[in-house]
Structure 1
Amino acid sequence: MTRLANVRAEEAVIGKIIGSADAYWEIAGILSAEHFTVPHYRDIFLAVANCCQSGRSLSLSLLEATLPEEWEGVGSREAVLLVLIEKAQDVSSATDFVDALLTAWRERERIAIGRIASQQGKSFEETRAAIEDRLRAVDDADRAKHAVSIGEAADTALRKAGEAYQSRGRRAIGITTGIAEIDKAIGPLTGGTLVTIAARSGHGKSALTSQILRHAAAPSLDPSQVHASLFLSFEMSREQNGYRNLASMTGISVRRQRTGDFTEKDYEALLQARRQLDAMPIHILDRGAMTAKQYAAECRAAHRRYGVRLFVLDHLRIVQPERDGWNDIKTIEHASMTNKDLAKELDAVFIQLAQITKEGQKSATNWRFKDSEIYGGGGLKEASDVILGVSVPTEWLKQNQPEPPSEANPRGREPFDEWCKNMENWRDKAEVAPLKVRDGSSGGWKTIGFDGVRMLFGDVDHADVPF
């Protein structure tokens, strides 16, 4: 049975750091006062920390000046400090006892969470919120927060580069979209990355992310390439998501599915697609609009329960303000920073969907847009590691169809013929643009394949439709 306290570990750590700033800094980013159960050990730890962090030289006399003269029932500060130093004489390093100290602390936190869960007189939602808050506090306290040297950072990068080299040609490192043109521009996506996918309304950004999720979660002989995901669907219900995924995989439209307008062969295709989806660890949350704090708690829970490493938020305009008086821009900027922090905290990829400003939506000159036309302010762009623009030219053309030629419009022939030509030229095509790539370079708009019936992007002749 795990012990709730390890006093020997506590006194060993405290004894080593009393007279050594170097010993303190070795454990400073891992331990805090709350990890100790003995009250006067907490006092001593805080005194050492204040001394070291203020830049003063650590000395016994300086510590004595900041501590109480006596701890009731324990003894004088001089005697206590000398005894602790003596007991730590045979300790080679304070770090040797860190794991034991943290194990006892985690057990105490587990019991505290159990007490919260068993409290009477609270609703389920209140209890859940209290547990999530406690778990967040545990995560913050249990995560190494100390700065690292540039050499340590380079060591981590080199190790991952070595892994990428060893697996080159055999498996991808990180999460890919499965769309060659997009992966070449922005991928692979590694943990800590925030991706913003921006498009006009109706230009397939939800369909594109669903396609990415299916690719990332598809069964594979290499389990490391199967990525569990959470789709925060603020706009569509889980049923609508189900219809759309089945339509994309089979070519049987949502309307035909709803009305039963399909054959037995079609139904077999739907069943097969459903079985494939059932094997994919894709989770959908359609609770409706939430604040960033609320959905962040759901993301952490999904990370713990299902091992989720890929999150999608659809979409930023529907996120609720955290505080009264916040406008849309402030809310979106706050949500973007929250999503970036979540990506780093959970070592995950976070994809957020963004819309275009009203001015950009009304553009009558071209379907392409600039990053300055993405709705969300400068905070969205600063937080994003990747910004991917998506556009379906035929959708824009439909919305900007010129008046057909007629007796009342005799000069309409030329613009209408040009429009018809463009509709034909852009059939089965979409465009994407890496408007920002933090670790690479942004680029112009590129043409890719697009199957409008199935809402599939990329080389649809070789799309990963699993049957």
Structure 2
Amino acid sequence: MSEICNIEVEQLLLGALLINNEAFGLISGQLLPEHFYEPLHKAIYDNASKMIRAGKIASPITIKSYLDENAKVGGLTVSQYLARLAAEAMPAMMAPTYANEIYDLAVDRSLINGAEDLIRAVRNRAPNVSPKELGEQAISAITTALSDEDTIYGATSFGEACDDALAATSQAYSGKKTVGVSYRLPPLERLIGPLCGGQLIILGGATKQGKSALAGQIAMGAAIDGFPVWMYSGEMTAMELAMRESSRDTKISVNRQKRGKVVEADYERLMQFRNANRDRPFYIQENRLTLDLVMERARAFVQRKGKGLIVVDHIGLIDRTKSEKSLADWEFGQVVTMKLKQLARELDCPVLGCAQLKKNVFNENRGPLNEKFLQSILNRRPRYTDLIGAVERDADHVIIPFRPFVFLKEHEPSEHSDLHLLWEEMVNDQKNKAKLVLALSREANWPAEVEMGWDGPTTTFYETGSAGESELIRREAISNPMALL
């Protein structure tokens, strides 16, 4: 493979670029770092590209600090090598010619690699692998090697995007594969559909409203459907999450499991759940991580296990670096959601992030404790502006679970008052009820809400309605759009 390169041409191009940064504009739409053969040349071009795009000057002096000074190239130090590149530089107008040759040689290497991989695969073909499969893989590799001709910095043409969209729809129509990640919560899926690659979904919620429970339920549903799931759990341990998920299936509460308040039949059900689910592709990161580490682990997970679902519970429990400690909670939240959206786009996976609501958001403009105030709790609807900071700005969907029961319990009237009887009726009526509010969406009509059932002992949202009767989805007609703010 060593003869499929031209080191001298790579040197001439880099020299021209370091002497005259304007040459970058002539080649930036075609040439990427991976097209270079020499590793040091890849590093030089990569760092020079980043500096020039950032409005800085890339020269032998400014770029050397980004390279390994201890590296030796042909007996020269990095500083000496950079100086040599500049000294032997050719005019910038020659840059496109050099770039074309470097690119063509990179394609040649890719084609040869694909051919050699095919030969090895054929010679070592397993009995359960057909020759046709190997041929299709080879065709895919060749297509990938040649497809860069139609891209600019990895951009996809609209024609290719239309092809992909039609193919995905065709697969979904034929029942072979749905678009995106399914998660076994029909009421929510009817509201927003499956979770798709590139999406950031924010689950907002006040304390004890069920946002972590909902996140876990979605994650487990995706894993049961075969999608790899990586969950950053800053609040609960992996063991606690496993107990919660088993409680949903077995109806044995986490409290009973922790205290050992089970009979032999209960233990048998717990064992059956363990045996049925121990191999699910569900991985829990329970150690606290910084944002950079969260993104790094998520990338590694997708690389090893494939595309699936990334869950962050919750964004306020991500550790901060030294430079981030001075940020207010709302500022840090915006940084996190911006990065998580970038991660979703980069990995082509949906990312689900949990976020807190502002404190006392449901006690705003509170009046005296009377029937009107109690009714206002039932009529209150969470809004995306209730989230801490502007974390919704990068979200494709904002979903907020809402259980009036929790807030009613916080405002119990005097036991001997006339209002207490009304309060008791409201509490009993709302005990097993919940709503999932679609507070913001880039794709679906919002605001909207879906009525759900809530089982407190197992922290489970479930579909309500009799057999054959779908749950109520009520969309609020808002004549004044500013009311959403």
SS of equivalent residue, structure 1 residue 27: coil
Q: Please list the CA deviations of residues 224-250 of structure 1 after superposition, one character each: whole Å capped at 9, or x if unmatched.
A: xx2111111111112211221121221
**Corresponding position of 2:247:** 247
Unpaired runs of 5+ in structure 1? Answer: 54-70, 105-143, 220-225, 407-411, 463-467
Q: What is the distance in 2 between the residues matched to 1:396 and 1:10?
A: 73
Tell me if structure 2 keeps the 8 A contact 1:198–1:388. yes
Distance 1:348 1:41, change over 3 A: closer
- Distance in 2 (alpha carbons) for counterparts of 1:396 and 1:442: 24
- Contact residue 33 and residue 43 of structure 2 kept, 8 A: no
Per-residue deviation, 1:285: 0.9
Aligned AA (1:313): V
> 2:230 touches 2:284 (CA, 8 Å); kept in 1?
yes
CA positional deviation for 1:217 = 0.9
The one-letter amino acid paired with 2:342 is: D
Corresponding residue number in structure 2 for 1:437: 441
Asked whether 1:391 is paired with 2:402, we answer yes
Q: In the alignment, what sits opposite 2:58?
A: none
Which residue does the alignment assign to 2:76? none
For 1:177, the equivalent position in structure 2 comes to 183
Give the match for residue 220 of structure 2.
214
Instruction: Report the Cα distance in structure 2 between the residues aligned to 1:172 and 1:260, rounded to whole angstroms.
Output: 41
Is 1:146 equivalent to 2:144 in the alignment? Answer: no
Contact 2:12 2:90 in 1 (8 A): no
TM-score (norm 2): 0.66
Shift of 1:403: 2.3
Aligned position for 1:333: 334
Contact 2:36–2:42 (Cα < 8 Å) also in 1: no
Contact map agreement 2:198 2:344 (CA 8 A) in 1: yes
Q: What is the alpha-carbon distance in structure 1 between the residues aligned to residue 352 and residue 345 of structure 2?
A: 13
How far is the alpha carbon of 1:445 from its aligned partner? 2.9
Structure 2 unaligned spans of 5+: 17-22, 56-82, 113-150, 365-372, 468-485
Give identity over the alignment, percent.
Answer: 20
The change in CA–CA distance for 1:230 and 1:291 in structure 2 (over 3 A counts) is: same
**Deviation digits for residues 51-103 of structure 1, max 9, x if unmatched?**
xx9xxxxxxxxxxxxxxxxx969996669x99x97xx8xx9976443345689
- Aligned residue for 1:269, secondary structure, equals helix
Aligned residues: 380
Asked if the contact 1:175/1:187 (under 8 Å) is kept, the reply is no
Q: Does 1:417 find its partner at 2:421?
A: yes
Normalised to the residue count of structure 1, the TM-score between the two structures is: 0.69
C-alpha distance 101-314 of structure 1, shift in aligned 2 (>3 A):
same
In 1, the alpha carbon distance for the partners of 2:184 and 2:241 equals: 20
Q: Distance in 2 between matches of 1:325 and 1:429?
A: 40
Residue identity in the other structure for 2:206 = R
Match of 2:455 among 436, 446, 451: 451
Question: How has the CA–CA distance of structure 1 residues 185 and 92 changed in structure 2, closer, same or farther, with 3 Å as cutoff?
Answer: same
For residues 287 and 77 of structure 1, the distance between their equivalents in structure 2, rounded to whole angstroms, comes to: 51
Distance 1:328 1:78, change over 3 A: closer
Comparing 183-192 with 422-431, which one deviates more in the overlay? 422-431
Asked if the contact 1:230/1:308 (under 8 Å) is kept, the reply is no
Q: Provide the secondary structure at the position in 1 that maps to 2:257.
A: helix
- Of 5, 8, 29, the residue aligned with 1:7 is 5
Which amino acid in the other structure matches residue 359 of structure 1?
Answer: N
Alignment of 1:16-415 (within 5 A): 24=27, 27-28=30-31, 30-31=32-33, 36=38, 95-99=103-107, 146=153, 148=155, 152-168=157-173, 170=175, 171-218=177-224, 226-288=226-288, 290-307=289-306, 309-322=308-321, 323=323, 324-362=325-363, 365-366=376-377, 368-375=381-388, 377-378=389-390, 380-404=391-415, 406=416, 412-413=417-418, 415=419
Query: CA separation in 2, counterparts of 1:35 and 1:434?
Result: 50
CA RMSD between the two structures: 4.3
- Whether the 8 Å CA contact 2:402–2:436 is kept in 1: the answer is yes
